[in-house]
Amino acid sequence: MANKVVVHFSDKRIKKGFTYDFAPEKDIIHVTVSDEKGEKSIIEVNLNSLKAIFFVKDLKGNKNYTERKTTEFRVIGAKKIKAVFNDGETMVGSTVSYNPSKKGLFITPSDPNSNNVRVYVPFKALKSVEIIT
């Protein structure tokens, strides 16, 4: 099954498309992207080069929407979390997969109106992670 993704690289590049082979334990995934003419190509993405992979509802998104950064709890059995990226961006949400010995974690945004369904973040892209009680 294809996942709609917005891939944010550590060097600030962004690619939008679909992936069929994402797994957090992998080092490389493939993303099908379209250029301005609508021509499709497959790019190889090294997870070590990422800030995050946003699994989204819509690839267009809404640039005018400001995501709420509250501590609302949307996922039963998950931990509330505040993640601060190396570039200073903050994400608040919940996670069921916090294990610092892994390569990264999934965050479900706390804003139910967010275009982001979930976000995969490599730990190396984070300045800090705080479990909110």
Residue spans of the domains in the chain: they are 3-56, 79-132
Structure tokens that stand for 69 in this block: 């950064």
CATH 3.40.50.300 fits 3-56, yes or no: no
Residue 53's CB is within 10 A of a number of other CB atoms, namely 26
pLDDT in tens, 25-49: 999 999 999 988 889 999 999 999 9
Structure tokens that stand for 103 in this block: 């390569």
Cα dihedral 125, 127, 131, 133 in deg (nearest 10): -140
Residue where the block lists tokens 């982001």: 116
Secondary structure (DSSP) of 64-129:
T----------STTPEEEEEEETTS-EEEEEES---TTSSEEEEEES-TT-SEEEEEEEGGGEEEE
- pLDDT value at residue 74: 61
Rg (CA), the chain: 15
79-132 folds as SH3 type barrels. (2.30.30)
Q: What is the mean pLDDT of residues 107-128?
A: 92
Regarding predicted confidence, which is higher, 111 or 5? 5
pTM over 0.75: yes
pLDDT at position 75 over 70: no
Q: Do domains 3-56 and 79-132 have the same CATH topology?
A: yes
Residues 120 and 40: their CA atoms lie apart, in Å, by: 24
pLDDT at position 73 over 70: no
Backbone angles phi and psi of 124, in degrees to 5: -70, -15
User: Which segment of 30-34, 68-72, 106-110 scores lowest on mean pLDDT?
Assistant: 68-72
